[in-house]
Amino acid sequence: MQPHLGIRRVRPAHYAYGVSIASAEPRVDDSAFHSMVHCLHDAGRSLGHYFPSVGISVDGQFLGTYPIGRLVHDSAKTANELMGKMQACQLREAARHEALAHSD
């Protein structure tokens, strides 16, 4: 059983997260962190005693599975990687919409 960490942007450069396991209701932390780095670090510290890894999504986009230790000990690099993946997803989506618009 692996937890899922759902990170959401609540304001520009402010993030909050919820944790869920399988089909259980997510446990939501309403705290807004001033960066994704702090958000990841807090989530990692909360989950680290119980799980070795976590699936992560940002704003509803699943971005992969990461070791909990990486969230705690390498939060900045992990945040940069996640933001890069988000940006790549957004560019793919924009290109798909552009292609659909030109196919008419």
Stated pTM of the model: 0.82
pLDDT at 104: 62
Residue 34 per-residue DSSP state: S
The residue whose two tokens read 């807004």 is 32
pLDDT at 97: 77
CA distance 1 to 86: 25
Query: pLDDT tens per residue, the chain (104 residues)?
Result: 789 999 998 888 889 998 888 755 556 556 789 899 999 999 999 998 889 999 999 998 999 999 999 999 999 999 999 999 999 988 888 888 777 787 76
pLDDT at 23: 57
pLDDT at 1: 78
CA distance 56 to 96: 24
3-class SS at 43?
helix
CA distance 46 to 58: 18
Beta carbons within 8 Å of 69's beta carbon, 6+ residues apart: 44, 48
